[in-house]
Structure 1
Amino acid sequence: MDKKTSLTKADIMAMADYAKIRKDKRSAISEHKRARRVEVGPFATFYFESFETMWMQVHEMLYIEKGGEEQIAGELAAYNPLIPNGQELVATFMIEIDEPIRRARVLAGLGGIEETAFFSFSGERIAGVAEADQDRTSEEGKASSVQFVHFPFTPAQIAAFSKPDTQVILGFSHPAYSHMAVLPEAVRAALAADFA
């Protein structure tokens, strides 16, 4: 079966029906997300998106905001770009610092961090491409605490990444945040399933 790479109106449940399965769906998506989460350094966490995570996100937005039919097109436009297209991995990464003053200070020094995310494996290096919907670094050089990044792969890179037990490094080359993490094998395997 081909992987679904976009949501359509036909994928959207009636909210009354969604409400009946919401608890079970939320539990299932939490399990799905567990193998798609990678902490890099002290503050950044990558959450790799999929058709399933975006299906859930759209349904949650519709359920919470209660915008009805008029809201659906906007949610599809907002979240479809974050579903991997079969030749890429897509992540939301968050810079999470509980203490507000420290968070503001750290974010002020991380302008452009969304342009420095990368994967490294088997002699390959894949630079992340920031989601182009809006600039997430302010003119003053302050980074947003939520960023969206695409990692485009060639067929050869997909083959190398998909080999079991390949050591895959995810990191940043930002001068103020040059942290890296090795993907656990369970995460690498889960992400490899995103490729068509």
Structure 2
Amino acid sequence: MSKQITRDDILPMERYAAIRRDKAREITAIKRHRRMPIGPEAMIYFENYDTMWRQIHEMLFIERGGEEQIDDELNAYNPLIPKGRELVATLMFEIPDRARRQRILGQLGGVEETVVLKLGDERIPAEAEQDVDRSTADGKASSVHFLHFPFTDEQVQRFSDPAVEVVVAIEHPNYQHMAVMPKDVRTALAGDFD
């Protein structure tokens, strides 16, 4: 689904508050089939219209910025909705212990440039969102990265072929892990292509 979220899609906050719990359950069910771990520290969440619709509403609800905040949230999150021939993901390093998190992220500068989706023997390198630099000059990575995986028409067909293995890998020298994409995730993501 490549539809963009517009101001017309934004609910008044009192109306959103009334459905917030139901939406949270609904999106949790959707996300269950749109995420996968990559190694012990990283989780990749594949985004779509529904996940970004809720994210925008949550930001508006929590921050209470009113009308002035809406355009900022639309500009921040619309780029994370797949545009027909791509998958879009949030890569998160989920490390609860603060000291350990700082130590690990301190060694992962540029990790966003090392993520790849493999279709059999074909590689689709991730393109990092360019909104802000997610790695510092001294080599520390952010715990959150936004990634685009651009597909050709042929790659979309291969992605839908159950005989072709799909793997997501992080190939950073200090974090080399990969995971085969589960069938339920592949099925959910196939709907992101127009």
Alpha-carbon distance in structure 2 between the residues aligned to 1:123 and 1:141: 31
Alignment root-mean-square deviation, CA: 1.0
Aligned match for 1:25, one of 19, 23, 26: 23
| SS of aligned partner of 1:110 | coil
Q: Which runs of 5+ in 2 are unaligned?
A: none
1:46 maps to: 44
Aligned match for 2:108, one of 107, 110, 115: 110
Per the TM alignment, residue 8 of structure 1 is displaced from its structure 2 partner at its CA by: 0.6
What amino acid does structure 2 have at the position aligned with 1:25? K
| SS of aligned partner of 1:178 | strand
Alpha-carbon distance in structure 2 between the residues aligned to 1:102 and 1:4: 38
2:74 maps to: 76
Alpha-carbon distance in structure 2 between the residues aligned to 1:115 and 1:133: 14
Alpha-carbon distance in structure 1 between the residues aligned to 2:117 and 2:10: 33
Q: Which runs of 5+ in 1 are unaligned?
A: none
8 A Cα contact 1:5 1:86, kept in partner = no
TM norm structure 2: 0.97
Per the TM alignment, residue 103 of structure 1 is displaced from its structure 2 partner at its CA by: 1.1
Per the TM alignment, residue 149 of structure 1 is displaced from its structure 2 partner at its CA by: 0.6
Alpha-carbon distance in structure 2 between the residues aligned to 1:5 and 1:54: 11
1:87 maps to: 85
| SS of aligned partner of 1:181 | strand
1:170 maps to: 168
Alpha-carbon distance in structure 2 between the residues aligned to 1:54 and 1:20: 19
Aligned match for 1:156, one of 154, 157, 160: 154
1:10 maps to: 8
Q: Can you list the C-alpha shifts for 1:50-90, whole angstroms capped at 9, x where unaligned?
A: 00000000011111111111110000001011111011001
Alpha-carbon distance in structure 2 between the residues aligned to 1:4 and 1:147: 21
8 A Cα contact 1:121 1:169, kept in partner = yes
Per the TM alignment, residue 165 of structure 1 is displaced from its structure 2 partner at its CA by: 5.3
2:186 maps to: 188
TM norm structure 1: 0.96
Identity of aligned residues (%): 54
What is the aligned length? 194
8 A Cα contact 2:46 2:90, kept in partner = yes
